A and B are shown apart, each in its own frame.
Chain A
């Protein structure tokens, strides 16, 4: 009997512990889901709210993270003023949101749309407190009409008001002299009078208690978070460190909680009172032998957080340090993100350590503020009870209404004529259409403008293209569908109508684990949603083995020297030696700061001299029997078998719709892409996302090697994909930062292809130069009249310049994804804004291929666009703010300055020219197929139904365009003028800095069909 209460509490404790563990896991899902810097992959920042409709989700997310849901109203107004949003867009947006906007109050005296349009078009602002007083007293808001009120409204308002003033005996001498003053003054008084008669809506005080540290901060000015972060952040960083610190945190392998416990319970107590009590607490924990979960429960009890508030408290507490908590949570869920041998990650451990430190810090602050002896739970309750919710006062509410009256051009005569019900309805209509609603409408309008522009252009282009006939392809380029390749592809196709570019995911359907000759470990070359199937090694040709040995030896020696320099110069005694001779560092410093491009060239030349480069090939094939394929359970087989290689290649050819002999050119260049820059912690975000944030060269090279193999060709033929005997593939790599293009294994090409290769190289050189030129229009440091050759030098300089916080703009301009034949987007200037995925609807009658493509397009493309959206609308909360004070910590993240929360999301430099619109996905398919796919793929359904992307469907059979609205596909109807034509891209973009509208480019367009009979849409398939 005696043991039963103990057992009971044990049982209770474990049940409680389980519930807490569940809650912590749930809260972990709300935290930023960004991995270590090396594996930076774009994703939807508000992934925890993906199950909600977009507009609801951004608002909910904004509440939770204390962020902005949309761009500011002021920014939208600037866009309205510049014409980026016009009245037509606003009307369309109001129409789109019709069912969601607050219902029209009964007996409204004016049309609701008129009120709303008036509120949108004018800079109506809510002013509170001192700002309102300033407007009233200093800015003359109650003496003159607002400066934005146009002349007609002003005259109308005065005219309708004067009779009323006379009637009410307010037409004084001053009013005769200055009628505007009299009218505005009376209008303000009348509005105030109206408002005071309206029922006041009291805001509801939130039931959930905030964190005690917030109360203490408000009451005493002492920041408990700062105090505890000063200890928790270095500790967490040292625990997860990937190899930056000289002295690793001891006992890392035992977990965060245990390692911390061991640290704090050793040795004498520190001479600082709060730290001493913290150490004592840890000693107590060590003696009690309780687990992390038990300790977390204990602290929650001490804080007086009852079980129903656990979730709210935990989310508030972890979101107060969301970067670090998110990193722990992410590392726990994705252990492969870390190098081998890293310590275990557990969010529960982190929670327990954080709560214990938090308790000590709060106790210290409470003691110092005079609450000595008062339990934290009591204090928390007391301070919560004292907090009061505030509601706007009548003048604040009246000021908005006052401005609306002015915007509508209403005079006192009109207003006083309203019955009290009408006036109430009017007030209600105004107050319901609050700032949040206005921004929501603006957002829809902003997207509408862009959508209409693009869809009209694509439709117009399609009509043009059907009148043309494709010549036999001479050269083909398979690129990543990345929007940064759009300009390169366009400029290539402008050179010759017989050039064709194909867009596919940059890993070219080859999920591999790759190790180059210089790498010491394998890297994953595939999108995060896939797992690598095979390992591929870069092998040195037998005759170059000696060079390779020399290379390895030279690299080792150089590495040892540099490593000694790196660590030594930062250490005490070796540092003495390094720093005494430190004046020698002036040489590299001067050259790399003053002449970065030349210095980089020198360095590369020197490197080539010291470290020779052997010739290599990829070990693409596994020539053993199929049963030997799996040597070990958890080790991937090396290389592809021929059947698998053919299957993988077949996937890509089928996806892109290239299956018939006449579709293939004699030379096909496969280009992976990547970025090169220095001084840039977020480098992997600029690389190929489809290659797991690496350079895509290996994938392209592997694809070419496999495509050239006769056995693979034979197997492909059996699948119905006939590649002509004469066709050869060449792999290569396009550097999106410095616009360099390198081709690999060109020595393997037969002599018959040499002239074609030469032509291809020349064309690539020209196209990359023009692409660099087009990119330079965005860089304010490049002259708007820069020549193409200088532009190339400019981008090379960016790539090598240590001082450059924006080596390239990355995905900054992304806004569109077009899935369909290249012919529908060919010759269309899309301003590097479109992901272009090659897909042939006629090769896919059932939609099976499109289903496969739907994930990369909607989820990966949509994820990129949404990460940019969130980082752009609230750069400080969702993004990581300006890059300049960033400091790399533990080789996995960045923080601001010497100590701060981990910064997640994109930097301000990465999003500064971004237009936050949801990705506009244009798919060449039928609505039925698309509906079918969303039914089968829940994740795609989530993105489409909840409108995280805008979906447009172009029916390939009849060219009709439909648009997905919340309920389903509706015909897209927008009367548009035919798309404009310019001679070439350069003549359209040169001298412009801003986003440009799409136009049709004449250069490189296909010849018109001679006879006037129009080819049916799918004509080429006969």
Chain B
């Protein structure tokens, strides 16, 4: 068995799992190069793009299965494979290597990713046939899967971060796929902004770990014994800070309360992207990160309690808001959010095996449900016919709550608990005001010419508006009464 999995190329001794591990990111990169290159030279034909996507998808799937089989079976005598592809950079005593590794979790995730890539690719061949932006879609999808595979097979946090960012960027671009309308673009920007802010968590967390535990990569983290030793060696406040920072990163990607508002809005892209990204893959990247970093959380209960609160809040929020949604995609988006909250709660309670099953089952099921979203009418009609009529829905809140309270709850659910408006008022507008202030100070200090063209035109428009506003006399209530009264007397 061992000799079967081993391969000798000249003097280089390569075994099959290592080949599979190398092949996964390489294949995804190849797809990006083939499609992107063709787009650069000339607009590639549908046939070419589809052929690339299909063949690479199949190869990726095979590699992922080979990797998983070798990791799960004890044929090689170990349950993880790692491979250093080279040195990225070094700085003093810190050096960063490009390391990939596959253990049970990451190889299973790699299978899910390649299944999603293959299925969504196959689905899109027909779904996006004759659509403007066909090649762009396949390019973004390949880039996305490159990001996901890098993220899943990353051997250290730096490599994971690269994949994480690639996923974030391509997600935003895919949400805004139909860029001739404004709402997909706005939704894409919202997702991108949320990712950016939460990614600060991952970046800072990675720095802290690199500083305090420079020699340890994710391979060490994946072994329970060595992970506990690393954590024990860290200063406790650093452990807490890192855990919370990584939680923040996971919250953004996995659409947790209160930063998950981008998820329902992300339903602007074509169906296969909704299926692959928000339904099954990128939303689970946060879960994956938490599972990887679980030893850290195990050591600090405070971080686990925070995770529990976040998870439960998301679950309740998602479930409540979903109740009042009346369109297929929003219902699924909030249902997804609620289950992700539950997965967070499971991890925080230490049920990592349950969380892992939940993670994969949820990913697969949602992928399937998102792909079938347009047939909701069909399905519900068929169900009504089987059940001999429309099901009367009974709702718990109307039964247990007093009328006014249930009315209030309903309104709050329709308005999504005002979450976005609150964030806008508390975070976005102060931030915009800050930017304006900085621009103003900038202009004041360095003169008008220092202000960039963009902000200048904006500030001029604003100044005009202010002038106009000054020119208009506020109409007092007595004046309006005075206007109205003569009419009544006539």
Contacts and interface: CB of A to CB of B under 8 A. Distances in A.
Interface of A: 5, 8-9, 37-38, 219-221, 226, 231, 234-235, 237-238, 241, 243-250, 262-264, 266-268, 270-275, 339, 369-375, 378-379, 382, 386, 518-521, 552, 555-556, 558-560, 562-563, 566, 569-572, 575-576, 578-583, 585-586, 588-590, 593-594, 678-681, 683, 780-781, 801-805, 882-891, 895-900, 909, 912
A247 B397 contact: yes
A588 B129 contact: no
B365 A578 contact: yes
Contact of B390 (A243, A272, A556, A900): A243
Contact of B385 (A238, A520, A909): A520
12 contacts: A219-B468, A231-B415, A244-B380, A270-B415, A378-B472, A563-B383, A579-B361, A580-B361, A582-B363, A586-B368, A801-B126, A895-B327
A887 B364 contact: no
A885 B342 contact: no
B183 A594 contact: no
B469 interface: yes
A296 B387 CA distance: 43
B410 A571 contact: no
Nearest to A892: B377
Contacts of B445: none
A898 B411 contact: no
Interface stretch (B13-21, B261-269, B288-296): B261-269
B327 A38 contact: no
A929 B474 CA distance: 70
A898 B267 contact: yes
A372 B404 CA distance: 33
Given A234-B324, A243-B384, A555-B386, 7 more contacts: A231-B414, A370-B465, A566-B380, A570-B331, A570-B332, A896-B178, A897-B267
B386 A882 contact: no
B267 A887 contact: yes
A991 B126 CA distance: 21
Given A244-B380, A566-B383, A371 B469 contact: yes
A9 B488 contact: yes
B326 interface: yes
Given A556-B386, A576-B358, A898-B330, A267 B413 contact: no
Contacts of B461: 219, 221
Contacts of A890: 326-327
Contacts of A560: 387
A781 B468 contact: no
A594 B267 contact: no
Contacts, number: 325
B374 A589 contact: no
A264 B324 CA distance: 15
A900 B365 contact: no
Given A245-B326, A371-B472, A593-B119, A804 B410 contact: no
A152 B127 CA distance: 49
A897 B380 contact: no
A244 B372 contact: no
A317 B322 CA distance: 30
Contacts of B377: 37-38, 681, 683, 888, 891
B395 A247 contact: yes
Contacts of B384: 243, 520
B411 to A, nearest CB: 5
B338 interface: yes
Nearest to A557: B386
B465 A238 contact: no
B271 interface: yes
Interface in B308-367: 315-316, 318-319, 322-333, 335, 338-339, 342, 354, 357-358, 360-367
B339 A575 contact: yes
B131 interface: yes
Looking at B361, B391, B406, which has the most chain A CB atoms within 10 Å of its CB? B361
B363 A519 contact: no
Of the four ranges (under 10, 10 to 19, 20 to 34, 35 or more), the interface on chain B belongs to 35 or more
A594 to B, nearest CB: 7
B414 A235 contact: yes
A569 B370 CA distance: 12
Interface string B148-184: 0000000000000000000000000000001001011
Given A570-B331, A588-B368, A889 B326 contact: yes
A575 B389 CA distance: 24
Contact of B367 (A243, A244, A589): A589
A897 B327 CA distance: 10
A804 B187 contact: no
Given A247-B323, A247-B324, A895-B327, A374 B474 contact: yes
A801 B374 CA distance: 12
A220 to B, nearest CB: 6
B326 A241 contact: yes
B55 to A, nearest CB: 15
Given A263-B411, A339-B390, A803-B126, A882 B131 contact: yes
B79 to A, nearest CB: 21
B449 interface: no
Given A374-B469, A589-B371, A583 B415 contact: no
B481 interface: no
Interface string B110-144: 00000100010011111111110000000000000
B368 to A, nearest CB: 4
B414 A238 contact: yes
A582 B364 contact: yes
A37 to B, nearest CB: 6
A869 to B, nearest CB: 21
Interface string B445-460: 0000000000000000
B91 interface: no
Contacts of A371: 469, 472
Contact of B418 (A243, A270, A588, A895): A270
Contacts of B404: 266-267
A244 B408 CA distance: 21
Contacts of B418: 270-272, 275
B115 A586 contact: yes
B113 to A, nearest CB: 14
A680 B364 CA distance: 22
Closest 4 CB pairs of A and B: A267-B408, A559-B386, A582-B361, A582-B365
Contacts of A569: 335, 365, 369
Interface in B18-34: none
Contacts of B409: 267
Contacts of B128: 884
A263 B407 contact: yes
Nearest to A893: B327
Contact of A887 (B328, B386, B407): B328
A555 B98 CA distance: 57
Contacts of B335: 569-571, 575
Nearest to A684: B377
A578 B335 CA distance: 12
A912 B326 CA distance: 30
Contact of B327 (A219, A237, A375, A566): A237
A884 B380 contact: no
A262 B406 CA distance: 11
B41 interface: no
B442 interface: no
A583 B364 contact: yes
B2 interface: no
Interface string B396-426: 0110000111111111111100100110010
A579 to B, nearest CB: 4
Contact of A803 (B127, B264, B338): B127
A752 B445 CA distance: 103
B184 A802 contact: no
B411 A563 contact: no
Given A558-B386, A570-B322, A572-B315, A246 B373 contact: no
B475 interface: yes
Contacts of A552: 388
B95 interface: no
